[in-house]
Amino acid sequence: MKSTKTTLITGASKRVGRDIALTLAEAGSDILIHYYRSRRDALQLKKDVESRGVRAEVFKADFSAGVRNLPSAIKRFVRDVYRVAGHVDLLVNNAAIFYPTPLGKITGRHWEDFMTVNLKSPFFLAQEIGMRMRRRKSGSIINLVDWTGLRPHPNYLPYAISKAGLIAATTGLAKALAPHVRVNCIAPGPILPANGATAKQKRAVIKKTLLKRFGNPKDISETVRYLWQGSDFVTGVMIPVDGGALGS
Ligand SMILES: NC(=O)c1ccc[n+]([C@@H]2O[C@H](COP(=O)([O-])OP(=O)(O)OC[C@H]3O[C@@H](n4cnc5c(N)ncnc54)[C@H](OP(=O)(O)O)[C@@H]3O)[C@@H](O)[C@H]2O)c1
């Protein structure tokens, strides 16, 4: 076992989360894989991580509005993680939901859905794990946000508002957990199209970038790796990895 660090990644089974897991495993981190529905992918990822010579463990949890007393459920989840892993050096809050909610059709359920999975859960995970990191005087937290948190699309307002909240949470948590724990966020642009996105929708998102193309999960995982291993003098910031969407 070559690893000296342990990383917990939420929603790690597939897509961007899986790439972050494999990239950090290759860089020598043990990986704690959180999943909710994608058990089979999580177990496959565990094997793929272990084949890189580091440890992998799998944890299931629902972070949705349907969970009764979510902060307590998150406390129990974190306790289980620490019982198995001992400690967490890096938390990557990656799990999220994304779907259109045109104005006039937004219900209370939509609102609760987005605010709970995309904002409340990562916040309480960061509080629970951040306090433990603070006691150890070491740790780092990375939140996956979205460039549209700063430039909301009118058809995705609850989503964009949840990500805007997580950007604010990043800045505030960086202050609250300093000087030993760093908290940053990464704001992807179009990296992987949402499942079921049409060719027209894909063209529309690409048009908003300066580079006129989709990025790659590697663009995100290499940024995570930079924040983990590249510099330990970065905290309280948002790094856009968006093909120039914010600058357009
Ligand atoms: N993809 C992009 O181009 C893009 C662009 C901008 C921002 N981002 C952000 O980057 C991150 C990764 O993007 P992605 O597209 O790879 O994400 P994704 O596929 O939409 O979601 C990642 C995972 O979140 C988990 N999740 C959803 N609901 C959950 C719940 N109730 N409880 C626990 N986990 C839940 C799912 O895990 P299970 O499958 O195990 O249920 C899912 O696989 C997200 O935060 C996203 O908002 C992505």
Tell me which amino acid residue 44 is: Q
Q: Is the CB of 97 under 6 A from ligand 1?
A: yes
| pLDDT score, position 126 | 99
| pLDDT value of residue 79 | 98
* Residue 28, burial from CB neighbour count under 10 angstroms (0-12, 13-18, 19+): middle
pLDDT of residue 237: 98
Q: How far apart are CA 213 and CA 236, in angstroms?
A: 28
16 CA distance to ligand 1 centroid (A)? 8
| Residue that has been written with the tokens 């330990």 in this structure | 232
Q: Which atom of ligand 1 is nearest to the CA of 163?
A: 47
Triad 237, 89, 33: Cα angle to 5°: 100
pLDDT at 2: 45
For the chain, which domains are there? 5-240 (3.40.50.720)
Is residue 144 in contact with ligand 1, taking CB distance under 6 Å?
A: yes
Question: 206: Cβ below 6 Å to ligand 1?
Answer: no
Task: Report the alpha-carbon distance of residue 42 to residue 28 in Å, rounded.
Answer: 19
Q: Which residues contact 43 (CB under 8 A, 6 or more apart)?
A: 58
On whether the CB atoms of residues 126 and 46 are closer than 8 A, the answer is no
Among protein residues, the one with the nearest Cα to ligand 1's atom 48 is: 188
**Is residue 128 within 8 Å of 140, Cβ to Cβ?**
no
Give 64: exposed, middle or buried? Use CB within 10 Å, 0-12, 13-18, 19+: middle
User: 174 Cβ partners below 8 Å, 6+ apart?
Assistant: 182, 183, 184, 235, 236
**Does 40 sit in the ligand 1 pocket, CB within 6 Å?**
no
Q: Judge if the beta carbon of residue 142 lies within 6 A of ligand 1.
A: no
**pLDDT one-digit tens code per residue, 58-85:** 999 999 999 999 999 999 999 999 999 9
Token pair belonging to 96: 């999220």
**Quick check: 229 and 177 in contact, CB under 8 A?**
no
13: amino acid identity, one letter: S
129 alpha carbon to ligand 1 midpoint, in Å? 20
Partners of residue 182 on adjacent β-strands: 140
Question: Ligand 1 centre and the CA of 41: distance in Å?
Answer: 14
Closest residue by Cα to atom 7, ligand 1, is 146
Pocket test for ligand 1, best of 46, 143, 191, 205 (most atoms within 8 A of CB): 191
Q: What is the pTM assigned to this prediction?
A: 0.98
Residue 188 in contact with ligand 1 by CB distance below 6 A: yes
C-beta 62 within 6 A of ligand 1? yes
102-137 pLDDT per residue, tens: 999 999 999 999 999 999 999 999 999 999 999 999
* pLDDT tens digits, 141-184: 999 999 999 999 999 999 999 999 999 999 999 999 999 999 99
